[in-house]
A and B are shown apart, each in its own frame.
Chain A
Amino acid sequence: MAIKITEECINCGACEPECPNTAIYEGGANWKLGDQSFGADDASPDGNSGFFSNDFFYIVPDKCTECKGFHDEPQCAAVCPVDCCVPDTDRVEDEATLLARKEKLDQLGR
């Protein structure tokens, strides 16, 4: 499953540079996939919605692989001092799906 950031986030920004997929964005900032840019009201190519936040850092499910293919554990969760990077139980995915996403991102660009 993808990782999500809860409302406990204090916007310290520790997670953002750790993400190998650049899936983490500051609250209110547009997110990118390849050469496309997406805003708060845009549907994601994979059909995900409800993840954008104007108030705190957010993770784009289309780009989160839980660090599969890079690290043994999600790096955002490892560095978060307030433990607010948690598995998103609404977006459960198996390892094969996450690795396939990594491959796709490798080709498409992050």
Chain B
Amino acid sequence: MIVSNKFLTAIEQFNDADFFFAHDSFEELWIDCRTDERDFLQGLVQLSVGMFHLISGNLKGAGSQLRKSIEKLDKFSPEFSEIDVFYVVSKSKNLIFEIEDFQKSDDTKSLQKLITHFIFPIKYQKENRYGNKDN
């Protein structure tokens, strides 16, 4: 169970689309972590970096980071540290599909549209995987 103020800050930064800062915050936690949760934190670092690359237009880097992130986070699905990991992994897989589709297309979709429609939040605490509040 990783939950701490820094962890919550990192999630907040991610959900505010401050992906670089989110990556930084998750990375600080990852550096200090010496337990099995280390992979979970690295998965969140890579998820944040994948999103950062996406909004920066580095689609190749985005796809690679999201794939690495899924590999690590999937082991913690469906839920870990009060995060809906199942949701994150599902959405990441969908985003990779959309990125690949975008790269193959003749730019029928704009990058902005890809970002607007397929970037997702990290669902934390009492929200379930369908986006409803449990409490």
Contacts and interface: CB of A to CB of B under 8 A. Distances in A.
Interface residues of A, number: 9
Contacts of B23: 10, 12, 81
Majority secondary structure, B binding face:
helix
Interface in A71-110: 81-83
Contacts of A12: 23-24, 27
A14 B27 CA distance: 10
B95 interface: no
A83 B58 CA distance: 16
Contacts of A8: 49, 53, 61, 64-65
B49 A82 contact: yes
Interface string A1-15: 000001110101010
B19 to A, nearest CB: 9
Given A6-B61, A83-B46, 7 more contacts: A7-B58, A10-B20, A10-B52, A14-B27, A81-B30, A81-B42, A82-B46
